[in-house]
Amino acid sequence: MHIIVPDKRALLKMIPSYNEFIQRHLLFFFIGCFITTLFLTASLARNAPDASVADMFFGLSAIGGSFAWMMASEGRPYWIYTLCSLRMHEDSETLKSLFDQPEIKIDYYLTKPWCSMLATLAVVATACLIGILLPPAVINGWLALCGIIVLPSWLCLCHTHALRNNIRQSLYHLSRLKPFPVKKHGIRRYLFEDTIIMLVVNLALVLPVARKPAFTLDNGSQTPAFIIAMIILMEVVLILMLMVGRKSKRYLFCGELILDELEAPTCKSPFITKGNRFSRAIFWCLLVGVWTISVCLISSVIAAFSFTLIYLCALTFPVAIFLLERFHTLQLDYHHAVSIINEYKKIAPTRMKNGISPA
């Protein structure tokens, strides 16, 4: 079988230019950021209809802080892969202008996960301080405004600034002028980060639901109404965890393979993660339902009349499922990334080997 390779001019017409790719990237990032913050803020407002400033601070901090952390930690390998692959075309004038850009300190610091997260928490804290001065009746409206408008706008601003520095530093690395220091790690690092972020966001958004009448413990945790409410809650939590667990990182892994930072997984996915995802999801939902009923009944026996304690106990099983499913997804992403890099080496071995020249 013969593969027909188009000439250089035809190929460049098929690939977006640098400016076109950046504009498209920022547009999709803003849409994704807006939809995500809208959904999570709506979940917080639904779970805490009488939201306080404390609910607002913990909820928006979890949403914005986790988003800022992932945005900063994933930026460098993503742009390494994007610049090193054929996803966009950079002409000599564009490359020269990118190399000649002066380094701006704020752009540099926003590429660091801790700095980006702390800056976002400072914005959330400022919004909450303003909320303290407002009447309690308008706190929900202020929460919606901050979560749907202010927070995504700030995150997009941070991403735009960090993007410029990530591209500049990636070009310096690929041109061998200033290589990145190599820090070896495995996919377990991302499994740990994803689990922590998922737990922080989950607890900040779900725990305020304890003030709803359906989750009152006045009659104990063994009542049918409370058990049904807990089953519905835990099933929703599980479904959202399974959706988050499917988020792909293969392009991120491609960048880290180019940087020679990502190590191969040392163990295989458990046998229970094999097979059809939908069938597994049904199976997990049944198990979580049984586990939730058991937790509620056991809590009534030991008189654990605390919604937080009951919820944390019920959450252990969904978290274990998330760990299994997330590790399985990350392992598949690693093998897909290896295949992509191997294929790319065949298509553009010179670009992969020699990098990008500032000339």
Task: Say whether 89 sits in a helix, a strand or coil.
Answer: strand
DSSP 267: S
As given in the structure block, the two tokens for residue 54 are: 């404390």
pTM: 0.88
Alpha-carbon span 147 to 64, nearest angstrom: 9
Alpha-carbon span 359 to 356, nearest angstrom: 9
pLDDT greater at residue 319 or residue 21: 319
Q: Give the pLDDT of residue 359.
A: 45
Task: Say whether 17 sits in a helix, a strand or coil.
Answer: strand
Res. 2: pLDDT tops 50: no
Alpha-carbon span 245 to 87, nearest angstrom: 26
Mean pLDDT, the chain, integer: 86
Q: Are 29 and 102 in contact (CB under 8 A)?
A: no
312: pLDDT confidence band, cut at 50, 70 and 90?
very high
State pLDDT tens for residues 42-88.
999 999 888 889 999 999 999 999 999 999 999 889 998 888 877 77
Q: Give the pLDDT of residue 353.
A: 54
> What residue type is assigned to position 229 of the chain?
A
Number of residues written out for the chain: 359
308 — phi, psi (to 5°)?
-60, -45
Find tokens 């926003």 and name the residue.
110
Q: Are 208 and 44 in contact (CB under 8 A)?
A: yes
- Mean pLDDT for 299-312 is 84
157: pLDDT confidence band, cut at 50, 70 and 90?
very high
Q: Give the pLDDT of residue 8.
A: 54
As given in the structure block, the two tokens for residue 317 are: 């099983």
State pLDDT tens for residues 91-147.
667 777 777 777 788 888 999 999 999 999 999 999 999 999 988 889 989 999 999
